[in-house]
Structure 1
């Protein structure tokens, strides 16, 4: 029975990897490290500085071919116009699957404020990108075990688009994005479900503090829905900031909960179900024009591949900064 349980768990992990390995840019908690543009194209150029962000994520240290992700993004306004541009490069490897992608973004910001003191801005963004999928089958069994295995390195390149909006009013913000608008078959042409990678994201948040205080607090949520698999999950986030002479120090906690579960056999042979649960503490510092952040994701399910966590580092640099225009607690803009 234990062997059967292990076998079913491994099959579930492999199946999850096949589906998620060609979903485009994976969505973790890196957006909370001053990097909302990474998931919402409408945030390109929303801040008073142009931004460069480099992230590196490594899962399951000590395990060969463990999932890892690297992203590089840049975004900023076009001069003093309401238009902005951005770009994202990413490399994602997950076992025998890997994907490389590049996106370019155009965003436009509409101001409804009577003056630059009050923030009231509606933004739209469109990203277009190319994703190259790769599946290495050279080490798979070649004795007819599976007729779908060719024993070669399969490659496929697809084009896709993301579209989104952002609304920011004083200390409140909302972002909505449709990712992977087009269908991509990738290297799994015979699996219909993987061709629909469309994902819907909705983020809401508010930043508040007492007048004259060096502390500010930001509760937020993000809901995501995968159209192809009909799965949904929610992130419940809380961040705190402290203003310093050199910039800011900040930290937070994110809790991700899936609304859909996977069934498995326990040691007694009964069928149980578990839902994805992840807890991620976050630490960061803004030192003059530089930003550094670290987050650690712990998966708290009963059945997991390993008890090791997922480590992620973010390095950032702000340039071309203009004066802070708005009288608000809005760290993503001011």
Structure 2
């Protein structure tokens, strides 16, 4: 058993203590690959097409038990009504810990403009989800006895809801979401009541605008996302830049995202205590070919102390169906 495996055991042993301290579906940068619905329930059915998105994320190629995530989402309008529904299923594995979850979403979209040419829309969304957590302890002990290790696969389930809203005005958009609204009293602590984490609420705020010259095939979309975890008082911010190019077959696009934690983590560097803040650089590229979407995302952690120098690779496959005509005269790729 190598040093990295000992590290993974230490992490998962800590997870045994804090129980369901996981926050559900992890928040990476996959929302930038035409997948805002993954983090904002109010984005269900906002587009003129129904959408299916499949993602697969793998971290640290060549490392055993490295984190991996798969998601499948679908969302769309209910006929010609202002209401929409969506669903997400996912599987997230990190070493000996894994979680599988499913969410159902209802969203409603209110138009404030006097016609369908000018985009002025407020959307609300509510997701309800069930998550099952597992901790595989079957290979923890090769010999001897440890009272905190049961040697079995432990599991528990949790229910929670997410709520948020979105506002679109011409080329501008803003989203705000509260994830894990409910407290998980009595679930997220060990038998001694230590390491109690019943507040998993995460606050998300996104905003951006798309710019383009009249008649140009190019458009540019700067955006930001702010994330705050209420229980641990951790915050981070994403600064994103995205560019689109219209083609005969659809569209090609790409960009760069920079995520920085606003809170530092302390560590021993041999001569004292140092601190570093989490930093991610994430380039991404994608193509819309007719009704199909293909995208690739790569994340690199730019810190001096990291678990592994390898990056984080993610593929996104999508399909749009039940498409209606583009209603609005705007540079709004998430809607038109």
Structure 1 stretches (4+) deviating beyond 3 angstroms?
9-13, 15-21, 141-145, 184-194
Task: Please say if residues 121 and 167 of structure 1, whose CA atoms lie closer than 8 Å, have aligned partners that are also in contact.
Answer: yes
Counterpart in 1 of 2:75? 75
Closer, same or farther: CA 186–74 of 1 in aligned 2, 3 Å? farther
Question: 1:199 aligned to 2:196?
Answer: no
List per-residue Cα deviations over 1:246-285 (Å, max 9, x = no partner): 1000000000000111111113x21100110000000000
Aligned-pair distance for 1:191? 4.9
Residue from 236, 245, 248 that aligns with 2:248:
245
**1:194 aligned counterpart, secondary structure:** coil
- Is 1:93 aligned to residue 93 of structure 2? yes
Kept in 1: contact 2:12–2:97 (CA 8 A): no
Among candidates 277, 284, 293, match of residue 291 of structure 1: 293
Q: CA deviation at 1:194?
A: 3.3
Residue aligning to 2:11: 14
Q: Is the 8 A contact 2:40 2:177 kept in 1?
A: yes
Supply the distance in 1 between the matched residues of 2:100 and 2:219 (Cα, whole angstroms).
38
Q: CA RMSD in A?
A: 2.1
- Separation of aligned partners in 1, 2:214 and 2:81: 32
Taking structure 2 as the reference length, the TM-score comes to 0.92
Distance 1:209 1:191, change over 3 A: farther
Residue number among 229, 232, 239 corresponding to 2:232 in the alignment: 229
* TM-score calculated relative to the size of structure 1: 0.93
**What is the DSSP-based 3-state SS (H/G/I as helix, E as strand, rest coil) of the residue aligned with 2:55?**
strand
What is the rounded CA distance, in whole Å, between the counterparts of 1:158 and 1:122 in structure 2?
30
Q: Which runs of 5+ in 1 are unaligned?
A: 1-5
Contact 1:157 1:186 in 2 (8 A): no
Shift of 1:15: 7.4
CA gap of 1:319–1:118, structure 2 versus 1, over 3 A, is same
Confirm or deny: 8 A CA contact 2:21 2:188 kept in the other structure. Answer: no
| Alignment-derived partner of residue 120 in structure 2 | 120
The alignment status of 1:264 with 2:261, answered yes or no, reads no
Mapping of residues 176-215 of structure 1, within 5 Å: 176-184=176-184, 189=190, 190-215=193-218
Structure 1: distance between partners of 2:13 and 2:43: 30
Q: How many residues align?
A: 326
Tell me the residue number matched to 2:175.
175
Q: How many angstroms does 1:186 deviate by? A: 5.8
Q: Deviations over 1:226-250 (max 9, x none)?
A: 1111100000000000001110000
- Gap regions ≥5 residues in structure 2: none
3-state DSSP class of the match of 2:279? strand
Distance 1:14 1:65 in 2: 12
